[in-house]
């Protein structure tokens, strides 16, 4: 019985404890509920007050890269002057945290129904894509960027508002506006084409990358400044203005140029590399803000990279002169990715014998098909590189030039040259094609040799100049084996169904081009026979024939390059040239001048206004086109007149020679 009594007491005690706990829980819940109710009422009052204030005052509305976070923060602009910045110690202030935001960043003033914004000191403030240097008057829906990336939409007084959709002013809108203000948009990238101005998807992708990476670059610059890393980051588009060996646009991509402002060293980072480094920079910056040590080794420092050669620009030397066995002496410009001149290259392409002797006048061909099946030798001679901007910026730097010959996989570099703004290169290599094919002639007809200019800096490795693995002739010439057309069924490319229409179009154009070339070749052969007959008559009879100059109409219209020959064609002069040689030389000079005419014609065909909807730009384009047509006509007439005068002079000399001979007899 005693045991039962004890168990009963224990149960009563437990029951009392449970009742006490339930009472505490009930009391705690009621207290928390009351506290939550009071907090909600306070928030409601604040929200109601804010809504009331919004109906009275203008405000700044936040815009975030994440659309879900946009429009959350509203900074009211009340009467009088308000300080915007990192500090909240001012009587009236709008506190903003972020990269590049100073304690007193800017002042915004609401007075007499007018709102003005003014930056403080060197603080960065941008309105509608334009950097603000003085006090600016804000208008409804102006876009404001404070520091590196704190973006806000200014919403004006209630009287200025309407039912417009504010969501169109998203983060991308701000960045597109910034890019446009810097002169960079889809049209600069070549993003629209045709009468319908359809956008190229690949170009749109590059533009999207640009506006996404742009704020990251600005933040990286701000982090570098605050951590005293002395690095400058610049966003660029690789291959913006560069073309391949056929003059076609290269694939564009985003790159970041990195410059050490103290050591004057330069790197080029890919987008992926920069984004990866940016995350590490942010982590380092956060540790810096938290007061932690940011000391790391070079291998783990996102601001450090080993020094390497920098690609400065590209030049194109057209190969068409080789199929006529004409020595080409060129002075071409190196252009960087943005299309700006970096240097001037002086070089030559010299057709030669297997032993390296330049061909004489007799080696110049009118019909390139005579080369088919024959061996062809030529030399690449690079003499000077003038006005190198890379070296003007820092005379302790160096340069190196490399180039690809036809389809050879490895580039051929020159020696490196240091400490000279106008370096002398003195480079020469000889190349051999054992048997010229029609495919090679077609290649040389419309391709260029791409020459690359590289910038060297102290501590970087130079490009090795080695012929290891190259096939060499007995004379020491490098063999270039150009492949013939692949037999059917051996193609390694898989063609999808959606590519077939485009390929059929290209095939049709190529067939038309082949037919045109056949007609040109046929006409040139006829003219060659007629000219030989004319020369024979001039030599044997001394009479003045009526020359058929129709060949001027049959010259290829698709040659975009200009063949520049020296006055003596790079050959030694003959003391007493025969009149047929002089006549041939006049014809060759005419061919040379016609190349320039064809280039002008091609330029005229490609000339288009940048904006067909803008009347002023259209008028300027029409004026430019009219001038180009006039220049084209003048040059064409000059070429024909020069040929006629040369022929008349040769015939006159021949007649005088014949008369003198008759008189002596």
Mark whether 152 and 33 lie in a shared domain: no
Backbone angles phi, psi at 100, to 5 degrees: 80, 10
Mark whether 243 and 335 lie in a shared domain: no
**CB neighbours of 407 closer than 8 A, spacing ≥ 6?**
443, 480, 482, 483
- Residue 189 domain flag: no
- Residue 146 domain flag: yes
Bridge partner residues of 347 (DSSP): 330, 382
What are the distances in angstroms from CA 530 to CA 383, 386, 523, 646?
41, 45, 10, 18
- Residue 505 domain flag: no
Mark whether 414 and 318 lie in a shared domain: yes
Query: Residue 591: what pLDDT?
Result: 63
Bridge partner residues of 455 (DSSP): 310, 399
What are the distances in angstroms from CA 252 to CA 178, 202, 239, 601?
20, 8, 5, 28
pLDDT tens for each residue of 336-379: 988 899 999 999 999 999 999 998 888 888 889 999 999 999 99
Instruction: Answer whether 143's CB lies under 8 Å from 156's CB.
Output: no
pLDDT tens for each residue of 30-46: 777 777 777 777 766 66
Residue that is last in its domain, among 479, 507, 526: 479
What are the distances in angstroms from CA 322 to CA 380, 404, 450, 619?
11, 16, 15, 41
- Residue 494 domain flag: no
The Cα angle at residue 622 between residues 619 and 625, in degrees rounded to 5: 150
317 has a pLDDT exceeding 50: yes
Residue 357: DSSP 8-state: P
Burial of 494 (0-12, 13-18, 19+ CB in 10 A): exposed
Tokens encoding 308: 């390497």
Strands (DSSP E) found in 19-163:
59-63, 74-76, 80-85, 93-95, 106-111, 114-119, 125-127, 130-131, 136-137, 143-146, 150-155
- Whose tokens are 């200025």? That residue is 160
29 has a pLDDT exceeding 50: yes
**CB neighbours of 313 closer than 8 A, spacing ≥ 6?**
334, 335, 336, 337, 341, 342, 343, 452, 453
**Alpha helix (H) residue ranges in 227-352:** 271-289
Backbone angles phi, psi at 171, to 5 degrees: -60, -40
What is the average pLDDT score of the chain?
79
- Whose tokens are 């065909």? That residue is 605
Backbone angles phi, psi at 350, to 5 degrees: -120, 110
Residue 426 confidence class, pLDDT cut points 50, 70, 90: very high
Q: How many CB atoms lie within 10 A of CB 639?
A: 20
**CB neighbours of 364 closer than 8 A, spacing ≥ 6?**
324, 325, 326, 569, 584, 588
Tokens encoding 169: 């002013």
What are the distances in angstroms from CA 355 to CA 351, 431, 475, 572?
11, 11, 6, 17
546 has a pLDDT exceeding 60: no
pLDDT tens for each residue of 500-542: 455 555 555 555 655 666 566 666 666 666 766 776 666 665 5
> Edge-to-edge strands of the sheet including 265-270?
231-238, 253-260, 265-270
Mark whether 314 and 408 lie in a shared domain: yes
Query: Residue 559: what pLDDT?
Result: 37
Mark whether 67 and 35 lie in a shared domain: no
Mark whether 133 and 171 lie in a shared domain: yes
- Residue 572 domain flag: no
Bridge partner residues of 61 (DSSP): 74, 153
Instruction: Answer whether 559's CB lies under 8 Å from 598's CB.
Output: yes
Tokens encoding 143: 């876009």
Query: Residue 637: what pLDDT?
Result: 73
Residue 154 confidence class, pLDDT cut points 50, 70, 90: very high
Mark whether 77 and 47 lie in a shared domain: no
Helical pair 579-606 and 500-541, crossing angle rounded to 10 deg: 150
Residue 116 confidence class, pLDDT cut points 50, 70, 90: very high
d(CA 193, CA 301): 44
Predicted TM-score (pTM) of this structure: 0.64
Tokens encoding 625: 């086109």
Mark whether 379 and 427 lie in a shared domain: yes
What CATH number is associated with residue 105?
Answer: 2.60.200.20
What CATH number is associated with residue 465?
Answer: 2.60.40.150
Rg (CA), the chain: 38
What are the distances in angstroms from CA 598 to CA 205, 514, 594?
36, 19, 6
- Residue 368 domain flag: yes
Query: Residue 207: what pLDDT?
Result: 87
Mark whether 358 and 438 lie in a shared domain: yes
Whose CA is closest to 388, among 327, 453, 471, 308? 453
d(CA 24, CA 37): 20
Domain span including residue 375: 310-479
| 59-68, 515-524, 566-575: the lowest-pLDDT one | 566-575
Mark whether 73 and 41 lie in a shared domain: no
Mark whether 468 and 334 lie in a shared domain: yes
- Residue 192 domain flag: no
3-state secondary structure of 269: strand
9 has a pLDDT exceeding 60: yes
Tokens encoding 481: 């084996």
Domain count, the chain: 5
Mark whether 445 and 324 lie in a shared domain: yes
d(CA 580, CA 585): 9
Q: How far is CA 90 from the centre of its chain?
A: 48
Bridge partner residues of 418 (DSSP): 398
- Residue 403 domain flag: yes
The Cα angle at residue 472 between residues 471 and 477, in degrees rounded to 5: 130
d(CA 74, CA 587): 78
Query: Residue 489: what pLDDT?
Result: 39
pLDDT tens for each residue of 437-482: 999 999 999 899 999 999 999 888 888 877 777 889 999 999 988 7
Across the range 162-168, mean pLDDT stands at 83
Query: Of how many residues is the chain composed?
Result: 665
């Amino acid at each position: 019985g005693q045991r039962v009594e004890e168990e009963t007491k224990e149960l009563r005690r437990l029951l009392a404890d449970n009742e006490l706990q339930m009472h505490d829980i009930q009391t705690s819940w009621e207290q928390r509920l009351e506290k939550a109710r009071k907090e909600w009422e306070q928030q409601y009052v604040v929200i109601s007050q804010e809504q009331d204030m919004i109906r009275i005052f203008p405000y700044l509305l936040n815009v975030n890269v994440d659309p879900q976070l946009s429009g959350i923060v509203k900074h009211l602009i009340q009467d009088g002057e308000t300080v915007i910045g990192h500090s909240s110690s001012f009587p009236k202030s709008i506190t903003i945290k972020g990269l590049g935001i100073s304690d007193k960043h800017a002042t915004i003033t609401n007075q007499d129904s007018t709102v003005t914004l003014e930056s403080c000191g060197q603080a960065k403030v941008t309105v509608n894509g334009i950097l603000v240097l003085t006090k600016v008057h804000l208008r409804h829906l102006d876009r404001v960027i404070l520091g590196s990336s704190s973006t806000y939409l200014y919403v004006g007084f209630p009287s200025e508002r309407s039912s417009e959709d504010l969501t169109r002013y998203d983060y991308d809108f701000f960045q597109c506006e910034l890019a446009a203000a810097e002169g960079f948009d889809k049209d600069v990238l070549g993003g629209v084409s045709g009468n319908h101005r359809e956008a190229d998807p690949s170009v749109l992708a590059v533009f999207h990358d640009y506006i996404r990476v742009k704020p990251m670059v600005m933040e990286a610059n701000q982090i570098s400044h605050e951590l005293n890393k002395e690095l400058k980051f610049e966003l660029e588009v690789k291959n913006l203005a560069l073309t391949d060996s056929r003059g076609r646009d290269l694939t564009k991509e985003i790159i970041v140029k990195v410059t050490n402002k103290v050591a004057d060293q330069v790197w080029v980072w890919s987008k992926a590399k920069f984004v990866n480094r940016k995350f590490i920079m942010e982590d380092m910056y956060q540790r810096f803000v938290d007061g932690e040590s940011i000391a790391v080794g070079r291998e783990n420092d996102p601001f450090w990279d080993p020094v390497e050669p920098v690609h400065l620009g590209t030049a194109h030397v057209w190969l068409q002169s080789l199929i006529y066995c004409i020595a080409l002496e060129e002075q071409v410009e190196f252009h960087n990715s943005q299309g700006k001149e970096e240097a001037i290259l002086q070089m030559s392409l010299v057709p030669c014998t297997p032993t390296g002797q330049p061909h004489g006048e007799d080696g110049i061909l009118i019909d390139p098909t005579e080369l088919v099946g024959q061996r062809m030798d030529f030399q690449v001679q690079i003499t000077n590189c003038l006005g190198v901007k890379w070296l003007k910026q820092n005379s302790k730097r160096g340069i190196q030039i490399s180039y690809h010959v036809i389809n050879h996989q490895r580039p051929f570099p020159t020696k490196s040259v240091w400490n000279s703004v106008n370096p002398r290169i003195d480079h020469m290599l000889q190349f051999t094609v054992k048997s010229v094919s029609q495919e090679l002639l077609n290649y040389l007809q419309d391709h260029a040799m791409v020459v690359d200019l590289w910038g060297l800096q102290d501590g970087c490795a130079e490009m090795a100049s080695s012929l290891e693995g190259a096939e060499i002739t007995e004379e020491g010439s490098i063999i270039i084996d150009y492949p013939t057309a692949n037999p059917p069924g051996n193609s390694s490319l898989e063609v999808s169904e959606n590519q077939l229409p485009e390929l059929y179009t290209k095939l049709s154009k190529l067939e038309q081009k082949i037919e045109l070339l056949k007609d040109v070749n046929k006409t040139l052969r006829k003219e060659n026979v007629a000219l030989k007959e004319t020369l024979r008559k001039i030599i044997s009879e001394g009479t003045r024939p009526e020359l058929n100059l129709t060949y001027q109409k049959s010259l290829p219209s698709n040659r975009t390059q200009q063949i520049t020959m020296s006055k003596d064609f790079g050959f030694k002069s003959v003391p007493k040239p025969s009149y047929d040689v002089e006549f041939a030389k006049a014809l060759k000079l005419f061919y040379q001048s016609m190349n320039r005419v064809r280039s002008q014609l091609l330029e005229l065909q490609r000339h288009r206004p940048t904006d067909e909807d803008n009347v002023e730009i259209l008028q300027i384009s029409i004026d430019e086109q009219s001038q180009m047509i006039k220049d084209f006509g003048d040059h064409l007439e000059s070429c024909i007149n020069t040929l006629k005068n040369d022929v008349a002079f040769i015939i006159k000399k021949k007649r005088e020679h014949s008369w003198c001979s008759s008189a002596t007899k």
